[in-house]
Amino acid sequence: MINIARCFHDPRLFKAVTGTTTSEFTALFPAFLDALHQPTTITPRRRQPGGGRKHTLPTGREKLFFILFYVKCYATFDVLAWLFDVDRAQTSRWVTTYLPVLETALGRKAVLPERKIATVDEFLQRFPLVKEVFVDGTERPIRRPSGQDAQRPYYSGKKKGHRVKNVVVTTEDTRVRVLSKTFSGHIHDKTGATDHGIFPPIPDEVLIHLDLGFLGVPKDRPKGTFSLPEKKPKGRPLSDEAKARNREKARRRVLVEHALGGVKRFRAVTDTLRNSLEAFADRLMLIACGLWNLHLDMVS
């Protein structure tokens, strides 16, 4: 079995296999332990206490290590079974059980992004000091579905492959504030943001940084405040002045790329998604954003 104790004594190795530092792990552990012992997460016993094989992950610390290892490294169930010396089906049950527990723990630490902001008043209540936000779309590859009818909704012409997407709203501190539901890769970024109500609750006076994937948004919100790159005119090059303005906007907008880069330290949201359920894909993205926000809280 994998030597978990060694990882705890090697900070570099611990971060490589869990995506968190030991201090972040320690801060998250009490909330994870509380969520783990909720009645809804405990499977009823089938044997008398002491019967059956001893649990390979006997304590909450090992259970939290396992699920963080899964999100960070995204190993297959066969590899997990070999590393943790259990049956492949057991690792599948562990992942199914402990992922919701990890999500609950991150929610108790108040680091999960909002899934939907309904009104401007709610936005101002949640983020009273925010003066500018950064909106961008991010996508992940998935396995090609079986059948042409199933493949078409997920095919991204831009990436020439099958994808699922999310739209994120971040702030200057690179924290992920809002995360849309996961949607299919064939849908355009602007359409996905519109369908999930990303822009209406943002106040008009808040500056919104966008890329050209959201080119039509300023037309839909004429009173809003936007920073958007200038598009190259058809049939002629972009002027040097426009290129310089675009570079300045890109230097500011790169903060959202830093946020997404932090989220994508976890291979569960960068490798080809092997889980076919959309709810599973959505939960992995939510957890990755929560772990990134937890990291920012710890370093601030």
pLDDT tens track for 111-146: 999 999 999 999 999 999 999 999 999 999 999 888
Answer whether residue 266 is part of any domain.
yes
Answer whether residue 235 is part of any domain.
yes
Q: How far apart, in whole angstroms, are the C-alpha atoms of residue 254 and residue 246? A: 12
Q: How far apart, in whole angstroms, are the C-alpha atoms of residue 82 and residue 92? A: 13
Answer whether residue 113 is part of any domain.
no
Looking at the structure, tell me whether residues 133 and 96 fall in a common domain. Answer: no
Looking at the structure, tell me whether residues 261 and 187 fall in a common domain. Answer: yes
pLDDT of the residue at 49: 65
Looking at the structure, tell me whether residues 62 and 104 fall in a common domain. Answer: yes
pLDDT band at 40 (very low <50, low <70, confident <90, very high): low
Looking at the structure, tell me whether residues 221 and 83 fall in a common domain. Answer: no
Answer whether residue 161 is part of any domain.
yes
Helix (H, G, I), strand (E, B) or coil at 112: coil
Looking at the structure, tell me whether residues 266 and 132 fall in a common domain. Answer: yes
Contacts of 51 (CB under 8 A, 6+ apart): none
Looking at the structure, tell me whether residues 68 and 139 fall in a common domain. Answer: no
Q: What sign has the CA pseudo-torsion 33, 35, 37, 42?
A: negative
Answer whether residue 23 is part of any domain.
yes
Looking at the structure, tell me whether residues 126 and 101 fall in a common domain. Answer: no
75 in Cβ contact with 67 (< 8 Å): no
Looking at the structure, tell me whether residues 281 and 199 fall in a common domain. Answer: yes
Looking at the structure, tell me whether residues 101 and 129 fall in a common domain. Answer: no
Q: Of 79, 108, 137, which one is at a domain's C-terminal end?
A: 108
| Tally of structural domains, the chain | 2
Contacts of 76 (CB under 8 A, 6+ apart): 274
Answer whether residue 115 is part of any domain.
no
Residues 231, 179, 97, 105: what is their CA dihedral angle, to the nearest 10 degrees? Answer: 140
Looking at the structure, tell me whether residues 140 and 275 fall in a common domain. Answer: yes
- DSSP-assigned states of every residue in 184-215: ETTS-HHHHHHHTT-STTS-TTSEEE--GGGT
Looking at the structure, tell me whether residues 61 and 127 fall in a common domain. Answer: no
Per-residue pLDDT of 200-253, as tens digits, reads 999 999 999 999 989 889 988 889 999 999 888 888 899 999 999 999 999 999
Q: Of 58, 76, 108, which one is at a domain's C-terminal end?
A: 108
Share of the chain above pLDDT 90, in %: 72
Answer whether residue 114 is part of any domain.
no
Query: Does residue 109 have a pLDDT over 90?
Result: yes
Give the angle 157-163-167 at the CA atoms, nearest 5°: 100
**For residue 261, what is the domain's CATH number?**
3.30.420
Q: Which amino acid is it at 244?
A: A
Q: How far apart, in whole angstroms, are the C-alpha atoms of residue 300 and residue 287? A: 20
Task: Determine the structural domain holding residue 103 and report its residue range.
Answer: 4-108
Tell me the two tokens of residue 45.
């016993």
Looking at the structure, tell me whether residues 254 and 185 fall in a common domain. Answer: yes
Q: Of 73, 108, 143, which one is at a domain's C-terminal end?
A: 108
